[in-house]
Amino acid sequence: DTEVTQTPKHLVMGMTNKKSLKCEQHMGHRAMYWYKQKAKKPPELMFVYSYEKLSINESVPSRFSPECPNSSLLNLHLHALQPEDSALYLCASSQTGTGKTGYTFGSGTRLTVV
Amino acid sequence: GQSLEQPSEVTAVEGAIVQINCTYQTSGFYGLSWYQQHDGGAPTFLSYNALDGLEETGRFSSFLSRSDSYGYLLLQELQMKDSASYFCAVLNRDDKIIFGKGTRLHILP
């Protein structure tokens, strides 16, 4: 298995809703990442988990809450989002956690906040 | 801070060769990566350069000059399926990959 699987593929939520994005990989990668990507923009790093511990939080608002239940799973909990949070949310993983062998990205969750 | 500069768009003809340049400013530089992203798709890893010189992988090659803070991606024998956005990305000592703004490659038949 050489994939990162993200669910759901599409999500529409209201500003008062609570939802979660899920990410799963079975490549034995020990680093996992959340990125946010707006249309025609580069991916922006949000969070890094290394060996199931949060190692980097890029000053992301608290309405985004990451969780890493185990080495294969990564969640992003969403609460009280704003319309400007609408974007493609990408999960990625890497073998060594150093990026030298590249990140494997999932196909993303396209989130619309209404 | 850190910054990466790459052209916003490049146009080339099918079968030709195209070079996408990237200059960067960052502290604690480890290496330069390249990613391809088709519309609606996920970024796909293409290459990584930590040392000066050229790395070749099939039709794609990537070059790095650490002294010039410069790299490029070279695509040969262009095919229509190569139409995509290409991102250079810096790996720094914080173990983060930071992406450039991307170059949209248009290929004409």
pLDDT at A97 (0 to 100): 61
Measured between CB atoms, does B31 come within 8 Å of chain A? Answer: yes
Q: How confident is the model at residue B32 (pLDDT cuts 50, 70, 90)?
A: very high
Give the pLDDT means over successive 10-residue stretches in chain A (114 positions): 91 95 95 95 94 90 96 96 97 80 93 96
pLDDT at B77 (0 to 100): 97
- Cis, peptide link before residue A42, omega less than 30° from 0: no
- The residue written with tokens 């196909």 in the block is A107
A18 vs chain B: nearest CA distance in angstroms? 25
Measured between CB atoms, does B5 come within 8 Å of chain A? Answer: no
CB-nearest partner of B48 from A48, A55, A102 = A102
pLDDT at B96 (0 to 100): 80
CB-based burial, A71-89: b 16+ in 10 Å, e otherwise: bbebbbebeebeeebbbbb
pLDDT at A10 (0 to 100): 97
Q: How confident is the model at residue B97 (pLDDT cuts 50, 70, 90)?
A: confident
Alpha-carbon distance of B83 to A54, in angstroms, equals 36
